[in-house]
């Protein structure tokens, strides 16, 4: 089959942010997406809605228009957040985003009213029942189809970087999983999820998609949920590895990181360089290391098994990408990498709240504060005012 790729005009950006609807009293998820979306027809209706359903009624996904800079994308998201906040506050709901919700049980979830989701649940059964998870997807435009697969392959080496920086799901149903990202395990269990297949070129991508369709494994190529995948309709590469991200500043950070890497690889192809092509076993092993240890992981740095601390690797990556970020106008957003390394990823910040005498209810409160105020909360937010627990 031929898969048309609609080329983008440079490294444009689009961001998708899956938000939790949190009851301000109980701190549990509210299954109210249908009512919330109905209250914001200016966002949820029309040919290109900015807010929409996801699989569960406990979440609302907001999306940006096509943006040229990271700052533009973040501002777009903040505008939608502001409008949604007006709709949810009178209902006693707060907005938050972490890879999983610390205390809610997936068995209490209600599915969104969509035929597509009904079919998905029918096909996947238990694997779909428990996908009460939240993530962020970043699309970066690519000008030429034949660059897409080499760039996807090169980006596969950065799956642990993306996940470690954004790991935010240490808790599942009220239990500490011992992982930095339980979402990576829950979502990664889907049959067509996980690291991208490292293919040779666009023709092999077309052949592989055709095979999956003929076999009945998928109904459309949109059901291939790789951690990084081509998106032919949008003319982008979509990075889907990020855990749910609590703050706009961190969303800006991952958008900058994605845009810089894609732009750097695009330019290297133009200069005649052959892009790196990591071994599949290294990609899988490194993803597991980031899933388990987050920023404390030691990651494999070559095909011979050499390792280095993830924090050191990220410091070096940020410095390497600074000239690219300056040219793209996202140096400030990329610099948030340093803030996360110093103050901790969300999974570390959440555990710090319990270490400070807090409860998982306090963790939920902290995530609502982080999104609303765009700042990191690294201690129990209720300790001084005596409101811990509910």
Distances (CA, A) of 36 to 61, 81, 85, 134, 321: 12, 12, 10, 18, 40
Residue that has been written with the tokens 């811990």 in this structure: 388
Query: Which pTM does this prediction carry?
Result: 0.95
Output the pLDDT for position 279.
95
Residue 377 in 3-state DSSP?
Answer: coil
* Architecture in CATH for domain 13-382: 2-Layer Sandwich (3.30)
Spatial distance between the Cα atoms of 22 and 96, rounded to a whole number of angstroms: 7
DSSP letters, 208-236, are HHHHHHHHTS-SSGGG--BSEEEETTTTE
Q: Report whether 58 contacts 104 (CB < 8 A).
A: yes
Full pLDDT tens readout for the chain, 390 residues: 789 999 999 999 999 999 999 999 999 999 999 999 999 999 999 889 999 988 889 999 999 999 999 999 999 999 999 999 999 999 999 999 999 999 999 888 888 777 777 888 888 898 888 889 999 999 999 999 999 999 999 999 999 999 999 999 999 999 999 999 999 999 999 999 999 999 999 999 999 999 999 999 888 888 899 999 999 999 999 999 999 999 999 999 999 999 999 999 999 999 999 999 999 999 999 999 999 999 999 999 998 999 999 999 999 999 999 999 999 999 999 999 999 999 999 999 999 999 999 999 999 999 999 999 999 999 999 985 544 443
Beta strands 236-243 and 171-172 are unpaired
Sign of CA dihedral 301, 307, 310, 316: negative
Q: Report whether 248 contacts 372 (CB < 8 A).
A: no
In the chain, where are the structural domains located? 13-382
pLDDT for 236-287, tens place per residue?
Answer: 999 999 999 999 999 999 999 999 999 999 999 999 999 999 999 999 999 9
CA–chain centroid gap for 299, Å, is 20
pLDDT for 273-282, tens place per residue?
Answer: 999 999 999 9
DSSP 13: E
Task: Please give the sequence-ordered ranges of beta strands (E in DSSP) within the chain, or none if there are none.
Answer: 13-23, 51-53, 59-63, 93-96, 135-141, 171-172, 175-176, 228-231, 236-243, 298-300, 307-309
Spatial distance between the Cα atoms of 317 and 314, rounded to a whole number of angstroms: 5
Taking the chain, what is the end-to-end CA distance rounded to the nearest angstrom?
56
Closest CA to 98 of 185, 20, 16: 20
């Amino acid at each position: 089959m031929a898969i048309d790729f609609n080329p983008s005009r440079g490294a444009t950006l689009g961001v998708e942010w899956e938000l939790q609807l949190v009851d301000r009293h109980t701190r549990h998820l509210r299954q109210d997406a249908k009512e919330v979306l109905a209250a914001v027809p200016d966002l949820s209706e029309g040919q290109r809605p900015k807010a929409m359903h996801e699989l569960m009624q406990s979440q609302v996904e907001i999306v940006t228009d096509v943006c040229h800079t990271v700052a533009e994308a973040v501002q777009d998201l903040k505008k939608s957040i502001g409008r949604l906040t007006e709709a949810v506050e009178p209902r006693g709901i707060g907005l938050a985003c972490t890879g999983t919700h610390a205390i809610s049980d997936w068995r209490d979830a209600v599915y969104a009213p969509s035929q597509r989701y009904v079919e998905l649940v029918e096909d996947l059964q238990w694997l779909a029942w428990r996908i009460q998870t939240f993530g962020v997807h970043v699309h970066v435009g690519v000008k030429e189809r034949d660059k897409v697969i080499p760039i996807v392959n090169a980006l596969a080496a950065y799956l642990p970087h993306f996940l470690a920086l954004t790991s935010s799901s240490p808790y599942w149903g009220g239990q500490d999983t011992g992982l930095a990202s339980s979402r990576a395990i829950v979502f990664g269990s889907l049959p067509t999820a996980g690291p991208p297949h490292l293919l040779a070129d666009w023709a092999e991508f077309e052949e592989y998609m055709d095979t999956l369709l003929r076999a009945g494994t998928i109904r459309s190529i949109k059901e291939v949920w790789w951690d990084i995948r081509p998106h032919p309709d949008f003319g982008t590469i979509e990075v889907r590895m990020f855990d749910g991200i609590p703050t706009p500043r961190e969303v800006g950070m991952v958008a900058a990181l994605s845009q810089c890497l894609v732009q750097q690889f695009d330019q290297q192809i133009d200069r005649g360089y052959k892009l790196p092509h990591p071994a599949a076993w290294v990609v899988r092993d490194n993803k597991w290391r980031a899933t388990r240890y987050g920023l404390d992981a030691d990651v494999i740095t070559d095909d011979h098994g050499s390792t280095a601390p993830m924090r050191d690797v990220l410091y070096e990556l940020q410095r390497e990408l600074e000239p690219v970020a300056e040219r793209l106008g996202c140096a400030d957003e990329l610099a948030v990498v340093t803030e996360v390394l110093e103050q901790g990823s969300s999974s570390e910040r959440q555990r710090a709240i319990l270490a400070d005498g807090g409860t998982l209810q306090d963790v939920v409160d902290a995530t609502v504060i982080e999104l609303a105020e765009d700042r990191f909360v690294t201690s129990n937010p209720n300790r001084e005012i005596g409101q811990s627990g509910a």
